[in-house]
Chains A and B, each alone.
Chain A
């Protein structure tokens, strides 16, 4: 697919139109994309056994983020040719968010969060969840679900926001997600382990290149995690 990119001016206008009328304008050629994205959203809600009004309650928001995230990650990559290069253009995510499925973003965040639709490049909801899944990917859907199921929206923020200088070390992040999932979920949450691992990691990569450590990323992450396991 040749992905359209929307600039902020056009996005703001479409977003305001949507807010005023709660109607959206999907061009004919993007109907199929819209229909695919909508049915996956219904599937995700059905799997959780909730209606859209329940999304803001309990930890459902996160459940929607990662379950819907995996579904759209597979759909966009396999059917619509999404790749890293395309996914790094904010304009592509503005297009999906305000022109194709503004109603879905609305169900997750409500229209008083324009940042999540078009306004902040690094906050666009669909962009954030695609990258969350990409950076956590364990080779297949099942294994990826396993490492993500006990997390919360804080892990999304910590992982996707800490891009670091220059960019993500993808293999490192996948290993971090794998080993983090092995820690007891109660302890993880109570002690904000993930946040602390990411802070320590940000400091360490200033001097150490994880893939060059004797034992590679795996040993590097084991050492990071061990530090917190002993507390």
Chain B
């Protein structure tokens, strides 16, 4: 559900004129009276929309045991454009900059503040560190740097269209999703060892509610059989490009997942593929909606679906995107 704004929010044009300089969030933890930095690896995306995994060279970091600290800093070269009639808040208001965080797997979210800006500020550099207590987050953390109306003390007649409720989010600077544990694979894959079973199977939990239940190993999982004679040909440690067999497994599995979710959703299916449904973050429905709406897979019939999934992989492997 997209929210409808009754007041101006940070536009692309305004964003470009204020000279925002983002920086990657920095993670660390504390052990034996010392702070240990955590690196980021497997980064994809850009500075404004990053996905990465934390990496502990010491291999000691545990979410159950350690407090996880995150530091974020931002620089804004010309914040004055944010104020006044053509901006997003009145001249005499104060803007706050904060980071919203979400750990959807542990059902938690929160906010921490970076600092504030007023009209008289020339160039601002803001930064802050937030500590996640041990055993709070799970899976990944989404961080979103936002602007909000912090202090409001009336406005002049030509500023009446601007936001006047404190706490209102009036713009987003950047966002990122950082995996804090696990293998980072978007696709839950496990290996089994059973000579009586086929090369692979897809486990799909038919009692799952696709709108709520997570796209994770509890509900969806590809099970590869190490004991099968063709297992070595899967070459699972190579890239997909070098393993046509594994690519076939993935393509078929994706098709089964979509078909299964379609069955389970019944009349809700149309809303999901038209992006009009309020499914939970990380849910099966979100994953399926992504395949269909963002990757453009055809789902009107099984044969067209198979064709479009194969086309997708062919085109993207050729372009080196996968």
- Tell me the B126-157 residues at the A interface (CB within 8 Å): 134-138, 142, 146, 148, 150-152
Q: Is A226 an interface residue (CB 8 A)?
A: no
Is A51 located at the chain interface by the 8 A CB criterion? no
Contacts A163-B280, A166-B281, A212-B98; is A88 near B107 (CB within 8 Å)? yes
Among A7, A119, A122, A165, which residue has its beta carbon within 8 angstroms of that of B218? A7
**Which residues of chain A are within 8 angstroms of B71 by Cβ–Cβ distance?**
none
**Which of B98, B107, B135, B218 counts the most chain A CB atoms within 10 A?**
B107
CA distance A8 to B281 in the complex (A): 21
B103 close to A167 (CB less than 8 A): yes
What is the minimal beta-carbon distance from A179 to any residue of chain B, in angstroms?
17
Q: Which chain A residues lie closer than 8 Å to B64 at the CB level?
A: 83, 85
Contact B106 A209 (CB under 8 A): no
Residues of A within 8 A of B110 (CB): 169-171, 211
Residues of B within 8 A of A131 (CB): 107
Check B183 for interface membership: any CB of A closer than 8 A.
Answer: no
CA distance A52 to B136 in the complex (A): 36
Given the complex of chains A and B, what is the CA–CA distance between A206 and B168 in angstroms? 9
Which residues of chain B from 203 to 224 have any CB-CB distance to chain A below 8 Å in the complex? 205, 207-209, 212-214, 218
> Which residue from A120, A164, A211 sits with its C-beta under 8 Å from B209?
A120
Assuming A169-B109, A208-B167, A209-B167, is B281 touching A84 (CB within 8 A)?
Answer: no
Q: Cβ of A212 and Cβ of B150 under 8 Å apart?
A: yes
Chain A interface size, as a band, is 20 to 34
In this complex, what residue of A is CB-closest to B181?
Answer: A85
- Contact, CB under 8 Å: B111 / A209: yes
A166: chain B residues at CB < 8 Å are 102, 104, 109, 142, 281
Residue with the highest number of chain A CB atoms closer than 10 Å, among B106, B111, B134, B214: B106
* Interface size range of chain B in the complex: 35 or more
Known: A212-B96, A212-B98, A212-B148. A168 touches B107 (CB 8 A): yes
Whether a CB of chain A sits under 8 angstroms from the CB of B165 is: yes
Docked Cα-Cα span, A33 to B135, in Å, equals: 21
Within 8 A of A (CB), among B180-236: 205, 207-209, 212-214, 218
Mask, B91-132, CB within 8 Å of A = 1, is: 000001010101111111111010000000000000000000
Chain A nearest CB, measured from B223 CB (Å): 12
Does B166 lie within 8 Å of A213, measured CB to CB? Answer: yes
Contact partners of A150 in chain B: CB under 8 A: none
Q: Which residue of B lies closest to A217 (CB)?
A: B167
CB <8 Å contact, B111 and A214? no
Q: Does A125 contact B (CB under 8 A)?
A: no
Contact with B along A52-96 (1 / 0, CB 8 A): 000000000000000000000000000000011110101100000
- Residues from chain B with a CB closer than 8 A to the CB of A209 are 98, 100, 111, 146, 148, 167, 169
Tell me if B63 counts as interface (CB < 8 A to partner A).
yes
Asked if B142 contacts A8 (CB within 8 A), the reply is no
Residue B300 interfacial (CB < 8 Å): no
The residue in chain B whose Cβ has the minimal distance to the Cβ of A203 is: B3
CB of B108 within 8 A of CB of A170, answer: yes
Q: Mark A115-143, 1 if CB is under 8 A from B, else 0.
A: 00001111000000001000000000000
Q: Is A194 part of the contact surface with B, judged by Cβ < 8 Å?
A: no
Instruction: Please state if B167 and A214 are interface contacts (CB–CB under 8 Å).
Output: yes
Task: Assess the A212–B113 pair: CB atoms within 8 A.
Answer: yes
- Select which of A84, A122, A211, A220 is within 8 A of B108 by beta carbon: A84
B150: chain A residues at CB < 8 Å are 212, 214
Is the Cβ of B108 less than 8 Å from the Cβ of A168? yes
State whether the Cβ of B59 lies closer than 8 Å to any Cβ in chain A: no
B168 pairs with A208, CB closer than 8 A: yes
Which residues on B sit within 8 Å (CB–CB) of A168?
107-109
Least CB distance, B171 to chain A, in whole angstroms: 12
Q: Does B274 interact with chain A (Cβ within 8 Å)?
A: no
**A208-231 CB contacts (< 8 Å) to partner B:** 208-215, 220
The residue that A214 contacts in the complex, of B106, B107, B136, B166, with Cβ under 8 A, is B166
What residues of A have a CB within 8 angstroms of the CB of B209 in the complex? 120-122
User: Within the assembled complex, what's the spacing in Å between the Cα atoms of A121 and B211?
Assistant: 12
By beta carbon, the residue of chain B nearest A85 is B135
Q: Contact at A85–B168, with CB atoms within 8 Å?
A: no
Q: Does B35 lie at the interface of the complex (its beta carbon under 8 Å from any beta carbon of A)?
A: no
Closest to B104 in A: A166
Chain B residues closer than 8 Å to A85, beta-carbon distance = 63-64, 106, 135-138
The 5 listed contacts between A and B (C-beta, < 8 Å) are A88-B138, A120-B209, A213-B166, A213-B167, A214-B152
10 more A-B residue pairs beyond the given contacts A206-B1, A212-B96, with a C-beta to C-beta distance below 8 A: A8-B207, A8-B218, A85-B63, A88-B105, A120-B209, A122-B212, A166-B142, A208-B169, A209-B167, A214-B151
Top 8 A-B pairs, shortest CB-CB distance: A213-B167, A166-B102, A83-B135, A214-B166, A206-B3, A167-B109, A88-B106, A212-B167
